[in-house]
Amino acid sequence: MKVNLLTKLVLQVDILSKLRHPNLVTLIGACPEAWALIYEYLPNGSLEDRLNCRDNTPPLSWQARIRIAAELCSVLIFLHSNNPDSIVHGDLKPSNILLDANFGSKLSDFGICRVISHDGNSSNSATMCCRTGPKGTFAYMDPEFLSSGELTVKSDVYSFGIILLRLLTGKPAIGITKEVQHALDQGNLNTLLDPLAGDWPFVQAKQLALMALRCCEMNRKSRPDLVSEVWRVLEPMKVSCGASSSSFRVGSEERGQIPPYFICPIFQEIMQDPCVAADGFTYEAEALRGWLDGGHSTSPMTNLKLGHLNLVPNRALRSAIQEWLQQP
């Protein structure tokens, strides 16, 4: 059990420390002793919480839901087209989509993601797969993955379709495809749309429902391409909702406030070359090397002996700091 948890922890640190996208959660550090990762603070919880109006929070508007769908599509395209290897998340669901202060979405939990090497003989990433035992959350899992054990980028597309149907209807994932298909067949999709989201524009809602059902096709070959088909629908919808792609801010911090996780615990200055140490904390590389070169073998934060002296560059946090510094 502990070996499995450690493997998941190491995998997430490896993935999230190397990637940077506005809709990927920013990794701040890790705590191996507690089998925990430390992310940037996202005050609006998860999409699952918001769809269920947890703690009597106000519901998400239909405009916010379209923006979240577009942001999720964008980050999936980024992961699937990553070089030299595609990254399949493998466990897309609303509880793994976190929301910042402006309800911008951040994809998290890469514990069971898979890295798929690009096949030099194939230019189509949809045909590449990773054979593995089925893992994830049943209601969001690709049926072909369940039956064959082959995980592909189209497995994420299936999960994306289920999430899109949930954004539209607010209903649970189990049985949602049949429910929406029946409503479309009967011509009464309006009765199924989540009234808490406000007055959905029916043409857009129907377009999204049809696209989501295509994403949920049982045969993965019948599912749409995210770039050439899904994004072409979602991007103009997002723009029409007033969502600008340049509106990204790091966490909930305004320009005048330095996010505390940008500060090196040793130098007490904004980090230029952040690295994760064995204690799970992120430090300025120069500061920690100075600490180690001074004969220390313990954590500057906990005073416990470090398991090893290796430093892992936190490239994602470095990019986040640079973006913050470049804001006007």
Q: Identify whether residues 58 and 97 lie together within a single domain.
A: yes
Q: How confident is the model at residue 183 (pLDDT cuts 50, 70, 90)?
A: very high
Lowest mean pLDDT among 119-123, 214-218, 260-264: 119-123
207 belongs to a structural domain: yes
- Domain total for the chain? 2
257 belongs to a structural domain: no
- Per-residue pLDDT tens digits for 7-40: 777 777 777 777 878 889 988 877 766 677 788 8
Q: Identify whether residues 93 and 4 lie together within a single domain.
A: no
328 belongs to a structural domain: yes
Q: How confident is the model at residue 195 (pLDDT cuts 50, 70, 90)?
A: very high
CATH code for the domain of 51:
1.10.510.10
Q: Identify whether residues 15 and 48 lie together within a single domain.
A: no
pLDDT of residue 131: 55
Task: Identify the domain containing residue 114 by its residue range.
Answer: 42-240
Q: Identify whether residues 234 and 288 lie together within a single domain.
A: no
DSSP string, 88-102: E-----GGGEEE-TT
Q: How confident is the model at residue 155 (pLDDT cuts 50, 70, 90)?
A: very high
Which residue blocks in 95-254 are alpha helix, DSSP H?
A: 143-148, 153-169, 176-186, 202-215, 231-240
Higher pLDDT, 324 or 67: 67
Positions marked active-site: 91
CA 290 to chain centre: 35
Indicate if the pLDDT at residue 136 is higher than 80.
no
Q: Identify whether residues 49 and 20 lie together within a single domain.
A: no
DSSP category for residue 228? I
Q: How confident is the model at residue 208 (pLDDT cuts 50, 70, 90)?
A: very high
Q: Identify whether residues 131 and 225 lie together within a single domain.
A: yes
- Per-residue pLDDT tens digits for 32-57: 666 777 888 899 999 999 999 999 99
249 belongs to a structural domain: no
Element (H, E) at 83: none
Cα–Cα distance measured from residue 145 to residue 124, given in angstroms and rounded to the nearest whole number: 18
84 belongs to a structural domain: yes
Domain final residue pick, 225, 240, 255: 240
201 belongs to a structural domain: yes
251 belongs to a structural domain: no
Q: Identify whether residues 289 and 304 lie together within a single domain.
A: yes
Q: Identify whether residues 227 and 86 lie together within a single domain.
A: yes
Q: Identify whether residues 66 and 140 lie together within a single domain.
A: yes
Higher pLDDT, 268 or 96: 96
Q: Identify whether residues 50 and 36 lie together within a single domain.
A: no
Of 88, 92, 15, 111, the C-alpha closest to 46 is 92
Q: Give first-to-last CA distance, the chain, whole Å.
A: 48
pLDDT of residue 26: 86
Q: Identify whether residues 222 and 156 lie together within a single domain.
A: yes
C-alpha to C-alpha distances, 185 to 56, 149, 175, 188, 269, nearest whole angstrom: 34, 32, 16, 8, 60
CATH code for the domain of 302:
3.30.40.10
Higher pLDDT, 293 or 249: 293
Q: What is the mean pLDDT of residues 170-190?
A: 96
- Scan for tokens 């699937």, then name that residue: 80
Indicate if the pLDDT at residue 251 is higher than 80.
no
Higher pLDDT, 90 or 133: 90
Q: Identify whether residues 31 and 56 lie together within a single domain.
A: no
CB within 8 Å of 208: residues ≥ 6 apart: 66, 69, 164, 168, 233, 237
C-alpha to C-alpha distances, 271 to 187, 258, 314, nearest whole angstrom: 57, 11, 11
Indicate if the pLDDT at residue 122 is higher than 70.
no
128 belongs to a structural domain: yes
Of 225, 202, 234, 251, the C-alpha closest to 67 is 234
